[in-house]
Structure 1
Amino acid sequence: MQFVKILQNGSRDEALHYARTYLSPFASSHIADIQKLMGSLLWTGKLDSSPYHALLPPSNWDRLAEELKRQFCNLLGQSYNSPLSVTISAGVQALPPLLKFMNVMVGKKQEWQTMNQLPVPVELDSELQFHSIFVCPVSKEQATEDNPPMLMSCGHVLCKQSISKMSKNGSKLFKCPYCPFDVDAALCKQLYF
Structure 2
Amino acid sequence: MELDLLKEAFDRVAKKQKQSSSKTLDIVNQIEKEIEQAITKIQTTSNHTSVLTELKDKLNELAPMNQLDSNQKDINLALAKYTKLLEKCFQPDISRAYRNVDTDPHVLNEIISTHFYRQGLFDLGDCFTNEAREPNAASLKLPFVEMYQILESMRERDLEPALAWAAKNRGPLTQNGSTLELKLHQLQFVEILKKGNRDEALKYARTHLARFAATHKGSIQKLMACLLWAGRLDQSPYTEFTAQAQWEELAHELARQFCGLLGQSYESPLEVAISAGVQGLPTLLKLSTVMAGKKEEWQNMKQLPVALDLGREFQFHSVFVCPVLREPASEENPPMLLPCGHVLSKQSIVKLSKSSTRPFKCPYCPSEATISQCRQLHF
Shorter-chain TM-score: what band? Answer: 0.3 to 0.5
TM-score normalised by structure 1 residue count: 0.48
Q: TM-score, normalised by structure 2?
A: 0.29
Larger radius of gyration: 2
Structure showing greater relative contact order (alpha-carbon pairs closer than 8 Å, 6 or more residues apart): 1
